Structure 1
Amino acid sequence: MNAALPLRAQPDAASDGRMAAARHAFSAPERVPLRPEERAALAADAEPALRHEGHKLARWTLGAGPRVLLVHGWNSRGAHLLGFVQPLVAAGFSVTLFDLPGHGDSGGHAASVVHAARALRAVAADIGEVHAVISHSMGSAAALLAFAHGLRVQRSVHLAGPSSLTPMVKGLAAMHGLGPADAAAFAGWVEGFIGTRMGCVDLERLLPGLRHPGLIVHDAEDRTVPFAASTALHAAWPGSQLERVTGLGHRRLLIDADVIARSTAFIASPNLP
């Protein structure tokens, strides 16, 4: 009798499913619709969409004066930062908020912090001069990357943002139950998707762009982005202030009156010689 042939290794369907889920979570944001009150607040202030990388970027501008750009986070949209608009306009600024690629009313389906940084730079280039940026979560990381690639501002505010991509990718792999080999494969896929090494989006490579004063605000019990990301950013950024808040989690920062007032005051304060 012939010896039994060894069984051919079968694909691990569960592993493939976990990998697919991790890729989707990294690259395909949820498109959140405008709420009726947000639509009403923005109805009169829409600007022509900016063409960027083959897609449109939806944007709105309110007020007059030096320009402040608002940058939202993952699974969000520009309208989620509307709470900052009227205080900034009252302080003498014009405010532009926009939807990042794959989010809100903007085009495209794929997104990442690298895609977001390119979009931010495109909006800023179209404006011509930007006084300040206020950014939340992934939008904060996008702003850091945009600064490292030449965007210049007088001040910036960073709300609960990651400061390095590598630990976020590792955390996403762990969240989806990827073992060491699959986690390494996932990291390689990420680098192919964003078109650069993950290390190029880590804090040590972003430091050359941090030449202006910055305000960092983070809840120490944030369950989405660890507070350690902001402590690392503050430690590496000589011109930064770190304010620890409590009871706001990851998203309630955007509607907290005290956070909005402190951010507005920081943006409006003069730079020291």
Structure 2
Amino acid sequence: MPPALAALAPSLAAHVDGRLAAARHAFSTPERIAMSADDKAALAHAAEPPLRHEGIKLARWTLGRGPRVVLVHGWNGRGSQLLGFAGALVDAGFSATLFDLPGHGDSGGHACSVVHAGRALRSLLAATGEVHAIVGHSMGSAAALLAFARGTQVRRSVHLAGPSSLTPMVKRQAAAHGLGPEEAAAFAGWVEGFIGTRLAYVDLDRLQHGLRHAGLIVHDPEDRTVPFAASQALHKAWPGARLEPAPGLGHRRLVADADVVSRSVAFIAEDAAA
């Protein structure tokens, strides 16, 4: 190796290691956001005892009475972001349970992934008993798909801008951090170690057998965080679902959009009395 290239090699290796470390951190370590004063007031009398899950405590709240709907937030979010859904569900005669995923909001832990979220959701469902419906945003939607594939049964579910397969999201994150083919393969291997399973086992063709109920999928076709193609694939694999585009709302605004909330609650209520 020429002397100049040999001298450069350590810095190149450090640069690659830095990109890999950044990708690993972005995949596994969420940002914890605080609850707003208004949301604290809205949930002041709704708190339930924290749920013990895999050595940590998950914060949870339930509002209203009636058939239970569980609301699952997305990456870098918290349960209180779905209070608009909760209020509309309570007005429609349901109870609404919100919770913070591991490493998010008021829950314990520092690490998370869609697989971690799926396990946390299943723990919550085991503790709450019968659930009429699940509403999931982004990673929360994917967590619900994992739960369904592992035996969770509901009457209805709503999926807001969620990824339907993990492999393309891992590839997307590798590309976003400028990883070449070898580094991307190393990153994918690290992800599999972190989540404790093969990426392929968290892809739609391995999960679709759990889709036996009615579903509503809502997604902005111009979403730059989770591609609309993920919802198109989910819709294609799910005969009992309908896909409703929500243009102009981006990835996060649709969780607070009055029309999306109204359509989702109406969908959940369609067979509540049946």
Please confirm whether the aligned pair reaches a TM-score higher than 0.5, indicating the same fold.
yes
The 2-side partners of 1:114 and 1:58 are apart by 18
The alpha carbon displacement at 1:272 in A equals 11
The 1-side partners of 2:246 and 2:140 are apart by 19
Which amino acid counterpart does residue 106 of structure 1 have in structure 2?
S
The alpha carbon displacement at 1:7 in A equals 5.0
The alpha carbon displacement at 1:150 in A equals 1.1
Q: Does 1:134 align with 2:147?
A: no
Q: Does 1:116 align with 2:117?
A: yes
Question: How is 1:87-236 mapped onto 2 (pairs within 5 angstroms)?
Answer: 87-236=88-237
> What does the per-residue CA deviation read over 1:31-68, in whole Å, with 9 as the maximum and x for residues that have no partner?
01101111111111100000000000000000001100
Aligned residue for 2:46? 45
Which amino acid counterpart does residue 75 of structure 1 have in structure 2?
N
Secondary structure at 1:57 match in 2: strand
The alpha carbon displacement at 1:270 in A equals 1.2
The 2-side partners of 1:206 and 1:52 are apart by 23
> What does the per-residue CA deviation read over 1:136-160, in whole Å, with 9 as the maximum and x for residues that have no partner?
0011011001110111110000000
Which amino acid counterpart does residue 69 of structure 2 have in structure 1?
V
Alpha carbons of structure 1 residues 44 and 70: separation in structure 2 relative to 1, 3 Å: same
The alpha carbon displacement at 1:10 in A equals 2.9
> What does the per-residue CA deviation read over 1:72-121, in whole Å, with 9 as the maximum and x for residues that have no partner?
00000000000011211111111000000000000000100000000000
Q: Does 1:24 align with 2:25?
A: yes
Which amino acid counterpart does residue 60 of structure 1 have in structure 2?
W
> What does the per-residue CA deviation read over 1:163-197, in whole Å, with 9 as the maximum and x for residues that have no partner?
00000000000000001000000000000000000
Aligned residue for 2:267? 266
Aligned residue for 2:248? 247
Alpha carbons of structure 1 residues 272 and 48: separation in structure 2 relative to 1, 3 Å: closer
| TM-score, length basis structure 1 | 0.96
The 2-side partners of 1:28 and 1:71 are apart by 18
The 2-side partners of 1:221 and 1:119 are apart by 30
The 2-side partners of 1:104 and 1:53 are apart by 17
Aligned residue for 1:10? 10
Identical-residue share of aligned pairs (%): 71
The 2-side partners of 1:266 and 1:7 are apart by 63
Which amino acid counterpart does residue 153 of structure 1 have in structure 2?
V
- Please tell me the root mean square deviation across aligned C-alpha atoms, in Å: 1.6
Aligned residue for 1:75? 76
The alpha carbon displacement at 1:271 in A equals 7.5
Alpha carbons of structure 1 residues 271 and 45: separation in structure 2 relative to 1, 3 Å: closer
- Give the paired residue count: 269
Q: Which stretches in structure 1 are left out of the alignment for 5+ residues?
A: none
